[in-house]
Amino acid sequence: MTTRTADAVIVGAGVLGASVASHLARSGHRVLVLDRGAPGREGSGTTAGNLHMQAVHTKRPGQAVPLDSARFLPLQRAASDRWETLEEELETSVEVRRTGGFTIAETDEQCRELHDKHGWEAAAGIPTEILDGDAARAALPLLGPTVAAATWCDLDGYANPLKVTPAYLDSAARHGGRTLAFAPVRRITRNGDGWRVVAGHGAAERVVDTPVVVDVAGPWLGEIAAMAGITLRMTPVAIQMHATVRSSATMSHLVQHIGEGLSVKQVAAGNLLIGGGWPALSMDLAGRSGTSLDSLVGNVALAVRVLPFIRDLRLLRMWAGPLAATPDEMPVIGEVPGAPGFYVAGGTYAFTFAPLWGETLRCLIEGKPPPVDISDLGPGRLMVPAGGSARDNGLEQENPQDRRSKRC
C-alpha cells in the first residue's frame, strides 16, 4: 500500500474518462485512470454509439424535461468537427461512419417540430434539409408509408463504441497514461492543496496523491463526488438496446424519430441496432440492469412502422445500460465550486461529446480557455448545500418503471 503520485486521477474508464486521459497524456501529464470493473463496460459499452449532429429528439420516452436544443446545438456542431479527425488522432479505426441521417416525422405536430428544429440547426451552422415524405422515401426507399416528412443531415453518423473507449485508452497508454481496471475508488480526501484517492481492496489497495481528480464516473458520478463531500443532483436511469441478426439489405444512414424514441442503423457487421431510449426493466448499478419485454415490443413495433423491411429479421439479443441524466437534461462539465482541482463531466449523449469534453477538460485543467463556452454547464447548478439532500431540493428520484408512462 504505497502512496503514488499522479498529475491527474481520472475516476471512471468510460468514454469520457478515456478521452480526457488521452488528451491529458498527449500533452505530457501523468494520468492514472481507475475503474471499478473492466473499462468501457457501462454506459460506454452498452451505448448505441450514435453521433447526434442534428438536433436530438428533445425527450426520451418518459423524460421529464425537454432538452434545450437551441443551447445544445452549437455544442453538437463543435463535437462534430472533432469526430472528423478522431481516427487520425487516435491512429486507428473506430468505425466512424459519417454517412448522414434522417430524423423523421409522422404527424402534423411532428412536422411542425421538424421545421422548428431546422431553424435552430441553421442558426447553429448545422446544415439540414427538410424533405417531404415522398422525397424522403426517394432518398431512402426503405422508409415506410407513415413517414410524412424528414430532415436530412450529412454530419450524422455513428462509431463503434466497443472500439472508441479502448482506442482512447491505448492512445493514453502510448503517452505514458496508466489504466487500472478492477480498482474501485473508495475514498477521496483533501490532501494539502490536492487530493488523496484510495482505490481497490486489501493487497490491491492503491493510494494516490494528486492535484487533480476528474470525476467521470457516469451514473456513479454523484457517488464519487459525495466521497469528496460534494452533493450533486443527478438521476441515473437505465435504457435498452435491441440488435437483429445480420441483414443483407443495406441501410447506410442513421434513422431517428422526432417525436418518439427511435434510432435505427445498420452497423459494419450488418446487424441492425434499434434503440431510442426505451426504459430498461430495472436499474442495477451493482450488476447488470434487466431488460424489459414491453420496451422491446414497443421499440420494435415503432421501428417496423418506420422501416418495414425490419419485420423480416430476427432479434439476436438485447441489453440494458445505465446513463446519468441531470435534472435539466443538459450536460455537466467543469470544476466544482469550492473544491479546487475536482472536475466533473457527464450527462446524456456523452458518447457524442466525448472528443469535445476530453479537450475541454484538458483546457480547464491547464488553465486555458476551453474550445466552447461551458460557463452555464458547470456543476454549480446541480449542487446541494451541505446538509441538504437531493430529495429536499425537489429532485424526484424517478422510478424507472414510471418512465413507461409515455407510449405511442
Partner 1 sequence: MTAERSAALHGEVVERDVVIVGGGPAGLSAAARLASAGLAVTILDEQPELGGQYYRRPAPAVAEQWGDHRPDGGRLIARVRAAGAECRTGHLVWGVDDDGRTLLASDAAGHPVRLRARHLVLATGAFERVFPFPGWQLPGVTTPGFAQHLAAGDHTTIGERVVLAGSGPFLLPVACSLIELGVTVVGIAEAGRPYRPSLRALGALGHPARLRELAGYVARLARARVPIWQETVVLRADGRDRVSSVTLAAAARPARPVRTVEVDALCVGYGFRPQTDLARMLGCAVRVDVASGDAVPVTDAAGRASRADVYVVGEAAGIGGVHAAKARGLAAAHDILTREVRETVPVAEVRRVASARRRLARFTALTDSLYPGPAALLATLAPALPADTMVCRCEAVRAEEIRATAAGSADGDLNATKAWSRAGMGPCQGRECGFAVAGLVRSVAPRPGAGDGESRVEVFPSRLPVRPIPLATLLELAGPDSQEGDRS
Ligand X SMILES: Cc1cc2nc3c(=O)[nH]c(=O)nc-3n(C[C@H](O)[C@H](O)[C@H](O)COP(=O)(O)OP(=O)(O)OC[C@H]3O[C@@H](n4cnc5c(N)ncnc54)[C@H](O)[C@@H]3O)c2cc1C
Q: Give the Å distances, CA to CA, from 22 to 9, 167, 176.
A: 13, 9, 10
Displacement of CA 161 from its chain's centroid (Å): 10
Strand 342-346 versus strand 332-335 pairing type = antiparallel
CB of 139 to ligand X, least distance (A): 22
Choose the one of ligand X, partner 1, none that binds residue 348, judging by a C-beta under 5 to 8 angstroms depending on kind. Answer: ligand X
Nearer to ligand X, 41 or 118 (CB): 41
Exposure string over 243-277, b if 16+ CB within 10 A, otherwise e: bbeebeeebebbbbbbbbbbbbbbbeeebbbbbbb
Site track 144-173 with partner 1 (rule: CB under 8 A), x = hit: xxx---------------xx--x--xx---
- Residue from the set 83, 195, 342, 349 that interacts with ligand X by CB under 6 A: 349
Q: Among candidates 10, 6, 377, 13, which has minimal Cα distance to 214?
A: 10
Nearer to ligand X, 24 or 350 (CB): 350
Choose the one of ligand X, partner 1, none that binds residue 350, judging by a C-beta under 5 to 8 angstroms depending on kind. Answer: ligand X
Over the Cα atoms of the chain, what is R_g?
21
Should residue 216 be labelled a site residue for ligand X when binding is judged by CB under 6 A? yes
CB 50 within 8 A of CB 76: no
Q: Where are the alpha helices (DSSP H) in 152-261?
A: 161-174, 221-227
Nearer to partner 1, 135 or 408 (CB): 408
The three-class DSSP label of residue 106 is coil
Exposure string over 18-52, b if 16+ CB within 10 A, otherwise e: bbbbbbbbbeebbbbbbbbeebbbbbbbbbbbbbb
Should residue 262 be labelled a site residue for ligand X when binding is judged by CB under 6 A? no
CB 143 within 8 A of CB 306: yes
CB of 132 to ligand X, least distance (A): 27
Q: Which amino acid is at 168?
A: Y
CB 22 within 8 A of CB 16: no
Nearer to partner 1, 206 or 233 (CB): 206
Should residue 138 be labelled a site residue for partner 1 when binding is judged by CB under 8 A? no
- Residue from the set 9, 47, 67, 106 that interacts with partner 1 by CB under 8 A: 106
Q: CA 82 to CA 89: how far, in whole Å?
A: 10
Only one of the segments 114-122, 125-133, 185-193, 302-310 lies at the binding site for partner 1 (rule: CB under 8 A); that segment is 302-310
Q: CA 251 to CA 249: how far, in whole Å?
A: 7
- Residue from the set 130, 139, 181, 384 that interacts with partner 1 by CB under 8 A: 181
Site track 226-265 with partner 1 (rule: CB under 8 A), x = hit: ------------------xx--------------------
Nearer to ligand X, 111 or 333 (CB): 333
Only one of the segments 7-15, 69-77, 253-261, 299-307 lies at the binding site for ligand X (rule: CB under 6 A); that segment is 7-15
Should residue 241 be labelled a site residue for ligand X when binding is judged by CB under 6 A? yes
- Residue from the set 6, 8, 13, 272 that interacts with ligand X by CB under 6 A: 13
The three-class DSSP label of residue 313 is coil
Choose the one of partner 1, ligand X, none that binds residue 311, judging by a C-beta under 5 to 8 angstroms depending on kind. Answer: partner 1
Strand 101-105 versus strand 149-153 pairing type = antiparallel
Q: CA 218 to CA 185: how far, in whole Å?
A: 14
- Which residues are near ligand X by CB under 6 A? 11-17, 34-37, 41-44, 46-50, 52, 184-185, 216-220, 224, 239, 241, 275, 321, 323, 346, 348-352
- Which residues are near partner 1 by CB under 8 A? 37-41, 45, 106, 144-146, 162-163, 166, 169-170, 179, 181-183, 200-201, 204, 244-245, 269, 281, 287-288, 291-294, 296-298, 300-301, 304-305, 308, 310-319, 401, 404, 408
